């Protein structure tokens, strides 16, 4: 049976004066054993400084002084014994035609280590919230996703700072959901609560995989399905009205430019903020969507319209940014101010995220950066563009369930379809 074994120094960090700072001294050395699409991580009991371990050569640097005073020769000797034990275990598995689980390999390794003269320290016992932090730090996701995971961890801390892996059960999850919905405590919408619970479920899946716990409380707990109303966005006429409007307030004028440009690009606001002059290639905007940069990254290419080029030409920023930008929060705040200033205030029907009842509100009260994304996708959809082509420019994955939330099918679309068979 084939397997790969590798030792690496664990990456850790801590916050110092509000700055995430790597820990470089006395860090654990981890053994990774990969086999048959499985991975077992095992604390070797060894510690060294980050600079002392050469991962590419799988050995310590020369003339080192280890934190625990062990010699370089004895350090390597213990690692070689671990390699030998793992190799012997896999030989026995192959001989017996056994495909071990990660749990079995770990337990067999522990049993055989006890028989050998290897200096193994007991691994650190991490609590629920320490493990959650490690999960966030180690997850190969975008900074935005890490921020969401940290928010979930903070909500759990607020709900019950004494939480352990074992006390979380169906009742705990039900009480946590109630806490998040409570106006005086969480005050979240039902859809947001479902997202929080799914992030917690992903954490438990990760914790089970790495054997931090055998408890899996979501086995008999149902997370409510998210419910969305019809997408709301401005019309092409309203978009062009904004584009041509004479706006005396400089702040609202460039907020208008950012919003209209986003309507023609369809990107997420996080990607919009990252655009530089060099993002323009052959009259197109090219970028890798931040939300997918660590998950099958692909280049998104959106041709620039005449109106988009007109907006770009208004700015020549010294730092190379394509457009001026403040923050997502201020962008959304000033968008509402812009719409009111330009009297784009028609009444629209939306689904209340907390009561899930339909209510009527002025469109200027609910406009946000995400509406520009809907303008792009919905406008192209109603114009007859193929969903696959739209998704290639919006950054949606193929067959994305979220894609349909950006447009609704109206009577005109139905009539246009029926006319094809008349």
Structure tokens, 144? 């935005």
Strands of 310-357 (E only): list them. 347-351
d(CA 12, CA 380): 46
Task: For residue 12, list its beta bridge partners.
Answer: 23
d(CA 153, CA 158): 9
- Other Cβ atoms within 10 Å of 375 Cβ, number: 24
- Other Cβ atoms within 10 Å of 78 Cβ, number: 20
Sequence-distant (6+) residues with CB within 8 A of 249 are 341
* pLDDT, tens digit, 9 for 90 and up, residues 88-104: 999 999 988 999 988 88
For 398, how many CA atoms within 13 A lie in the half-sphere containing its CB? 3
Strand 284-288 to strand 299-303: parallel, antiparallel, or no bridges (unpaired)?
antiparallel
* Eight-class DSSP state of 299: E
3 state SS of 326: coil
> Using alpha carbons only, what angle is made at residue 378 by residues 392 and 333, rounded to the nearest 5 degrees?
100
Structure tokens, 85? 């034990």
For residue 386, the Cα-to-chain-centroid distance in whole angstroms is 28
Are 72 and 60 within 8 A, CB to CB?
A: yes
d(CA 367, CA 350): 12
Residue with the two structure tokens 């739209």: 390
Q: Residue 398: its pLDDT value, please?
A: 57
Q: Residue 185: its pLDDT value, please?
A: 85
Q: Residue 121: its pLDDT value, please?
A: 52
Q: Which pTM does this prediction carry?
A: 0.59
Of 139, 181, 11, 7, whose CA–CA distance to 86 is shortest?
Answer: 7
Task: For residue 303, list its beta bridge partners.
Answer: 284
Tell me which architecture the domain covering 236-421 has in CATH.
Orthogonal Bundle (1.10)
Sequence-distant (6+) residues with CB within 8 A of 52 are 60, 61, 64, 66
Alpha carbon distances (Å) from 372 to 272, 345, 378 = 11, 16, 10
What contacts 24+ positions apart, CB below 8 Å, involve 395-398?
A: 395/266, 395/267, 395/268, 395/271, 395/289, 395/291, 395/292, 395/300, 397/292, 397/296
Q: Residue 418: its pLDDT value, please?
A: 46
Are 326 and 247 within 8 A, CB to CB?
A: no
Alpha-carbon dihedral angle through residues 110, 114, 115, 117, given to the nearest 10 degrees:
120
d(CA 377, CA 45): 54
Alpha carbon distances (Å) from 375 to 150, 266, 288, 417 = 31, 8, 21, 21
Whether the CA torsion 207, 213, 219, 224 is positive or negative: it is: negative
d(CA 137, CA 146): 8
Q: Residue 158: its pLDDT value, please?
A: 93
Question: What are the residue ranges spanned by the domains of the chain?
Answer: 4-115, 128-220, 236-421
Using left for φ > 0, alpha for ψ between -120 and 50, and beta otherwise, residue 6 falls in beta
Residue with the two structure tokens 């339909």: 358
Are 64 and 72 within 8 A, CB to CB?
A: yes
What is the chain's length? 422
Are 10 and 29 within 8 A, CB to CB?
A: yes
Strand 38-48 to strand 12-16: parallel, antiparallel, or no bridges (unpaired)?
unpaired
* pLDDT, tens digit, 9 for 90 and up, residues 96-152: 899 998 888 988 888 888 665 555 555 555 789 988 988 888 777 777 788 899 999
> Which stretches of the chain drop beneath a pLDDT of 50?
293-294, 418, 420-421
d(CA 130, CA 261): 43
For residue 58, the Cα-to-chain-centroid distance in whole angstroms is 32
Are 260 and 243 within 8 A, CB to CB?
A: yes
Strand 347-351 to strand 358-362: parallel, antiparallel, or no bridges (unpaired)?
antiparallel
């Amino acid at each position: 049976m084939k397997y790969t074994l590798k030792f690496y120094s664990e990456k850790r960090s801590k916050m110092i004066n509000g700055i995430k700072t790597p820990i470089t001294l006395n860090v654990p050395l981890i053994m990774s054993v990969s086999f048959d699409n499985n991975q077992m991580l095992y604390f070797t009991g060894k510690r060294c400084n980050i600079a002392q371990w050469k991962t590419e050569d799988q050995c310590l640097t020369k003339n080192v002084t280890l934190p625990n005073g062990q010699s370089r020769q004895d350090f390597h000797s213990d690692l070689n014994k671990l390699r030998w034990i793992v190799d012997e275990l896999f030989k026995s598995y192959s001989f017996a035609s056994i495909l071990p689980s990660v749990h079995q390999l770990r337990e067999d390794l522990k049993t055989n280590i006890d028989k050998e003269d290897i200096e193994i320290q007991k691994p650190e016992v991490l609590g629920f919230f320490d493990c959650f932090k490690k999960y966030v730090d180690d997850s190969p996701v975008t900074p935005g996703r890490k921020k969401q995971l940290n928010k979930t961890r903070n909500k759990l801390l607020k709900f019950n700072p004494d939480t352990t892996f074992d006390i979380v059960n169906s009742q705990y999850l039900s009480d946590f959901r109630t806490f998040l919905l409570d106006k005086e405590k969480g005050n979240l919408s039902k859809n947001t609560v479902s997202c929080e619970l799914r992030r917690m479920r992903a954490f438990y899946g990760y914790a089970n995989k790495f054997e931090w716990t055998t408890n899996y409380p979501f086995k008999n707990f149902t997370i409510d399905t998210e419910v969305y109303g019809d997408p709301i966005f401005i019309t092409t006429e309203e978009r062009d009205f904004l584009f041509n409007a004479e706006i005396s307030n400089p702040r609202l004028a460039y907020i208008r430019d950012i919003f209209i440009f986003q309507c023609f690009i369809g990107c997420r606001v996080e990607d919009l903020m990252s655009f530089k002059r060099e993002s323009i290639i052959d009259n197109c905007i090219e970028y890798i969507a931040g939300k997918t940069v660590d998950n099958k990254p692909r280049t998104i290419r959106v041709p620039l319209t005449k109106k988009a080029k007109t907006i770009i030409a208004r700015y020549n920023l010294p730092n190379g940014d394509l457009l001026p930008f403040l923050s997502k929060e201020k962008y959304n705040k000033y968008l509402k101010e812009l719409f009111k200033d330009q009297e784009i205030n028609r009444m629209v029907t939306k689904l209340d995220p907390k009561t899930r009842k339909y209510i009527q509100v002025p469109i200027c009260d609910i406009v946000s950066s995400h509406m520009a994304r809907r303008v792009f996708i919905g406008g192209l959809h109603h114009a007859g563009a193929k969903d696959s082509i739209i998704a290639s420019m919006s950054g949606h994955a193929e067959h994305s369930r979220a894609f349909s939330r950006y447009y609704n099918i109206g009577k005109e679309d139905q009539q246009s379809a029926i006319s094809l068979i008349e």
